[in-house]
Amino acid sequence: MSQYSILLVDDEEEVFSVIMKKLDWENMGFRIAGYARNGVEALELAEELLPDIVMTDIKMPYMDGLTLSRKLKELYQNIKIIIFSGFDEFEYAKEAIKIEAEEYILKPINANELREVFTRIGANLDRELDEKRNIEKLRQYYMESLPVLQENFYAALIEGRIPEQDIGKFLSSYGITFAGPRYVVTALHISTPEPQLGIDPILLAVSVKKLAEEQFSNKWRSNVFSYLGDIIVISQLAEEGELTGYTDAMDKFCRLAKRVCGARVTAGIGHSCGELSELHLSWQGARNAVSYRVLYGNTRAINIAEIDPQEHADKTWEEQSIQKIFKKIKTGDEHSLLEAVSDCVGRFSGRGASLQKYRMFIMELIAEIFRFGNNNDLNMDEIFGENADAYSEALQLDSPEALKDWLVSVGGKMQAQVQKRATDTTKTFVRRAEEYVREHYAEQSLSVETVCRNLGVSAAYFSTVFKKETGKTFINYLTDYRMEQAVELLLAGDEKTYVVAQRVGYSDPNYFSYVFKKQFGVSPSKYKAEKLGGQKK
């Protein structure tokens, strides 16, 4: 039996302990994942915990239970809502039905009634999961999925093997609609399955594929298919600006896939393009984005345009092993770089190349090294020395081993510069966000979304980088900064609490006092009295 998580929401703390004691939650297949004392807190916790069930009171400060329920249903379509209240009024019950709440329970809560409610909801959740995990249904779905001709067409399209003038003919023949005007390829890469699921990797991929179709087919007009072990999503955008919203949608999908299917999915998002004939470039960008999971982790969306603005998907050099070296320079460590170099040199020397072919190889190699350095703003004088002739130096190497050592040395210097630039870029990015907070913290509308609009990135990428660099979520950082400013205002003058609240971005002085007390353990007025009183002594 699966264990489902519950988020309890009530402004009366004793209600939590009463509910906890009512039932043997673990034996029933549930766990209490967290508590919130108002709707605002609950929304923040729901994003972090992704609970299966939210049990909320109606009357609470800052955001009532009905408003919370509506927002949760908008954000998390499959979440189960239980409303419990001391108000036996038809209007409340009618609103609960409109929100599609599972139950409306009156206080005081009866243990038997509560047990029946959760037993029923648990059974419904079991059925929903069984439908998604049922091996026979998945096997049948796999056999009845997209026709082979469609699959082959999509694969040929992202590989760039279909002449531009023939694309329209194939679309018409296979009944596929691509209206655009923008297109983007996403590669969904599934890491090792969760061992406790005991599900076949192929069927797990089918489960993720089906979930992707459910989530993206309508809103993003997506076509989903399997390709080389990954699940590929070709989506359509109304404009270039939709890419950040699409990235956030993919990021939520990765977390949903882990919760529903038990799969750790990385969504690599390529560059958007305006022509179907350019999809192969977007596909290459998507593949490169997936490789960055070694830096940013899996179970998230990675947009190549955000993490590597200099990335160019149109690689034409036939020696793919050289591209692998550059990939390791960007995302790997010294050991992985050594492996890539060894593989490249080994393949070339194993071909029994002539002197002419060796010189051609060196020319291509040096050209690609300088192209890579130029695209990534590397200091090539620092890597080769101001007066060094890289081509002549490479030609004088007298063995494959010497060539390998030379390449490892050059690649190591490039790798160090790339990593330093990435660190500097991240710090600059976070510093800009911090500066924006310092300039706009008094605005009540300040949020992750407003900062991301200013920086021109998706919330998914921003949240990952910001927490990695500062150790805090953006909301925690903003709250801490507002509280610092509030303390200065309280101690510097005779401003009323409600004035201080407004000046640091809170429209509701009661909620400001609540957050302040949560941060410092006392109310704003008591904090001021204690600090100023201590100074006088």
CA distance 254 to 190: 10
Token pair, residue 220, equals 């993003």
The residue type of 281 is L
- Measured N-to-C along each axis, helices 201-216 and 111-133 cross at an angle, to the nearest 10 degrees, of 110
For the CA atoms of 411, 415, 416, 419, the dihedral, rounded to the nearest 10 degrees, stands at: 170
Q: What is the pLDDT of residue 315?
A: 42
What residues have CB less than 8 Å from 156, skipping those under 6 apart? 162
SS3 category, 321: helix
CA dist 302 → 47, 279, 401 (Å): 19, 18, 37
Q: What does the pLDDT read at residue 404?
A: 87
pTM metric for this prediction: 0.60
Q: What pLDDT is recorded for position 108?
A: 79
Peptide bond into 61 cis (omega under 30): no
CB atoms within 10 A of CB 435: 10
Q: Homologous superfamily of 4-133 in CATH?
A: Response regulator (3.40.50.2300)
Q: Check the CA dihedral 523-529-531-534 and report its sign.
A: negative
Look at residue 302 in the predicted model and tell me its pLDDT: 94
What CATH architecture is 147-307?
Answer: 2-Layer Sandwich (3.30)
Q: 327-345 as b/e, with b when 16 or more CB fall inside 10 Å?
A: bbbbbbeeebbbebbbebb
Question: In whole angstroms, what is the distance from residue 63 CA to residue 56 CA?
Answer: 11
Q: For the domain bounded by 470-536, which CATH number is listed?
A: 1.10.10.60
**Regions of the chain with pLDDT less than 50:** 312-318, 537
Q: Using CA atoms, how far apart are residues 54 and 452, in angstroms rounded to an integer?
A: 29
Angstrom distances, CA of residue 29 to CA of 22, 175, 241, 499: 15, 46, 43, 48
